[in-house]
Chain A
Amino acid sequence: MQYLSDGLGEAMGYLLRMEPSVISAAFRSLWISSLAVLFATLCGVPLGSWLARASIPGRWLLVFALRVAMAFPTVFLGLVCFAIFSRRGPLGALELLYTPWVIVIGEFVLAVPIIASLTHGAVFSLDSRVHETAVTLGAGPIRRWFTYISEARTGITLAVLTAFARCITELGIAMMVGGNIQGRTRTLATATAMETDKGAFAQGLAMGFIMLTIALLVTAIIGWLNHENEV
């Protein structure tokens, strides 16, 4: 049990001392995941809400596929990204392998199905009076869409946070296509795995605690931005 309290103490020490290697991994994790989730939100929320409201044939097949894709193992996504962005791969010429950008792309693919599926669920389960009330008050398609998003915002916030939690803690993509290069692609998750491998449990735990701190801050900020406490 000693190493748990040691880890916590060490985490505090790292944060207070602003240990450069830890701080840089934390910032890298934060910006990579934030960027991936931002783009995934811009795609996933419109996709999910459109699937919830559009009446097109085969819509359920798409919803089903997105739900299955929510369970993508990150190592599998990492492998696919590796195959695409490696020298011999179709996008190898971009030379993105072992850069943070390819991690952003992998995490984007990880996040889109989560955000789209959960947004679909949130918008689909809205009361039918939402649509009727908006129509009867003269709202056009775009205003109606914003109304659905606004009415379902608790569920959509949860979708974004779930995707963010999955991205910031994921290891498979960052390890496979990022390569855990210090100062370039090392994230908190790859650093934690590496410290644990080295037997430096306390340092690994410290990284884990820092991840939790980030999760806490992000949840609080998004909740505050979204006026979650207001109904």
Chain B
Amino acid sequence: MPQIEIEDLKVTKGKKLICHMPQMSVESGEQVAIFGANGVGKTTLMLVLAGFERDHQGACNISTALRSRSFMHQTPYLFRGTVLHNVMYGLRSHGIDSTKCRRIADEWLDRFAIADIAQARCANLSGGERKRVALARALAMSPQLLLLDEPFAEVDEAGVSLMSEVLSDLQSTTVVFTSATPLSSDVRARVVEMKTPADTTSSPVECL
């Protein structure tokens, strides 16, 4: 049974159809890239998958509990405080004791090459560093389903290769991410193309 099964998913805001995914299925452990131009509803689809957008039509069955899904915004929000505080946030929420928290956090800080800024205040970080901190924070709690909205946007080449290397090393995590630009060769993922909602709803007959 697939981990995510979508059938004719539609989200409307006001009277406007802002997101339409005719069919999509993701197997456990798979890495899927949702590719599409700006404004096709990629973020809305991610919000549905993350469980934040419940007002939709069509079927969206996800076998992963909300607690085991982790969503990263296009511009991630980092809590006030240090990088370490942010990376440990999810672990603390899951009631893991502080020594173990610290050990897991240190591992992820190392993997994303941000151990040297562990004690830095988040407000002073660059855009690329913020993304790495947010990704480390999301992965530290070992989610079964990782949802990333435009993780590679505004990240330099070295950052993209580091992030994609970490993602491809993941064993038991299903990763769904979006991208508005063609993927770099470092990124290995099955690509699902998303079209503007109007394209898919108007049938050729109506056009005539």
Enumerate chain A interface residues (CB-CB to B < 8 A): 127, 129-130, 132-140, 143, 147, 150-151, 153, 230-231
Q: Pick the contact of B77 from A130, A150, A230, A231 — CB < 8 Å?
A: A130
If the complex has contacts A230-B121, A231-B121, A231-B123, are A138 and B77 also in contact, measured as CB distance less than 8 A? no
Interface pairs A-B: 4 shortest CB-CB: A129-B77, A137-B90, A231-B123, A138-B93
Q: Chain A residues with Cβ under 8 A from B123's Cβ?
A: 231
- Contacts of B88-116 to chain A: CB distance below 8 A: 89-90, 92-94
* Bound: A151/B81 CA distance, A: 9
Q: Sample 5 A-B pairs with CB under 8 A, ordered by A number.
A: A127-B77, A135-B52, A136-B50, A137-B141, A153-B80
Q: Which residue of B lies closest to A138 (CB)?
A: B93
Q: Chain B residues with Cβ under 8 A from A137's Cβ?
A: 70, 89-90, 93, 137-138, 141
Interface assignment of B131: CB less than 8 Å from any CB of chain A = no
If the complex has contacts A137-B141, A138-B141, are A132 and B73 also in contact, measured as CB distance less than 8 A? yes
Q: Chain A residues with Cβ under 8 A from B190's Cβ?
A: none
Q: Which residue of B lies closest to A152 (CB)?
A: B80
Q: Pick the contact of B93 from A127, A129, A143, A230 — CB < 8 Å?
A: A143
Q: Chain A residues with Cβ under 8 A from B121's Cβ?
A: 230-231
* Bound: A138/B65 CA distance, A: 11
If the complex has contacts A129-B73, A139-B93, are A150 and B80 also in contact, measured as CB distance less than 8 A? yes
Q: In the complex, what's the smallest C-beta–C-beta distance from A132 to chain B, in angstroms?
A: 6
In this complex, which of B77, B92, B141 has the most chain A Cβ atoms within 10 angstroms of its Cβ? B77
Q: Is the CB of A133 within 8 A of B93?
A: no
Q: Is the CB of A136 within 8 A of B70?
A: yes
A-B contact count (CB 8 A): 55
Q: Which residue of B lies closest to A147 (CB)?
A: B79
Q: Chain A residues with Cβ under 8 A from B137's Cβ?
A: 137
Q: Which residue of B lies closest to A140 (CB)?
A: B93
Given contact pairs A132-B50, A137-B89, A150-B79, a sample of 9 additional A-B residue pairs in the complex whose CB atoms are under 8 Å apart: A129-B73, A129-B77, A130-B79, A132-B71, A137-B70, A138-B141, A150-B81, A151-B79, A151-B80
Interface assignment of B42: CB less than 8 Å from any CB of chain A = no
Q: Is the CB of A136 within 8 A of B79?
A: no
If the complex has contacts A230-B121, A231-B123, are A136 and B77 also in contact, measured as CB distance less than 8 A? no
Q: Is the CB of B50 within 8 A of A133?
A: no
* Bound: A230/B124 CA distance, A: 11
Q: In the complex, what's the smallest C-beta–C-beta distance from A46 to chain B, in angstroms?
A: 20
Q: In the complex, what's the smallest C-beta–C-beta distance from A51 to chain B, in angstroms?
A: 22
* Bound: A49/B174 CA distance, A: 36
Q: Is the CB of B141 within 8 A of A132?
A: no
Q: Chain B residues with Cβ under 8 A from A231's Cβ?
A: 80, 121-123
Q: Chain A residues with Cβ under 8 A from B188's Cβ?
A: none
Q: Chain A residues with Cβ under 8 A from B138's Cβ?
A: 136-137
Q: In the complex, what's the smallest C-beta–C-beta distance from B65 to chain A, in angstroms?
A: 10
Q: In the complex, what's the smallest C-beta–C-beta distance from B145 to chain A, in angstroms?
A: 11
Contact with A along B170-194 (1 / 0, CB 8 A): 0000000000000000000000000
Q: In the complex, what's the smallest C-beta–C-beta distance from A145 to chain B, in angstroms?
A: 13
Contact with A along B74-89 (1 / 0, CB 8 A): 0011011100000001
Q: In the complex, what's the smallest C-beta–C-beta distance from A79 to chain B, in angstroms?
A: 43
Q: Chain A residues with Cβ under 8 A from B80's Cβ?
A: 150-151, 153, 230-231
Q: In the complex, what's the smallest C-beta–C-beta distance from B187 to chain A, in angstroms?
A: 22
- Contacts of B119-171 to chain A: CB distance below 8 A: 121-123, 137-138, 141
Q: Chain A residues with Cβ under 8 A from B73's Cβ?
A: 129, 132-133
* Bound: A102/B29 CA distance, A: 66
Q: Which residue of A lies closest to B85 (CB)?
A: A150
Interface assignment of B195: CB less than 8 Å from any CB of chain A = no
Q: In the complex, what's the smallest C-beta–C-beta distance from B1 to chain A, in angstroms?
A: 24
* Bound: A132/B93 CA distance, A: 14
* Bound: A228/B80 CA distance, A: 11
Q: Is the CB of A132 within 8 A of B52?
A: yes
Q: Which residue of A lies closest to B89 (CB)?
A: A137
* Bound: A228/B122 CA distance, A: 15
Q: Is the CB of B89 within 8 A of A136?
A: no
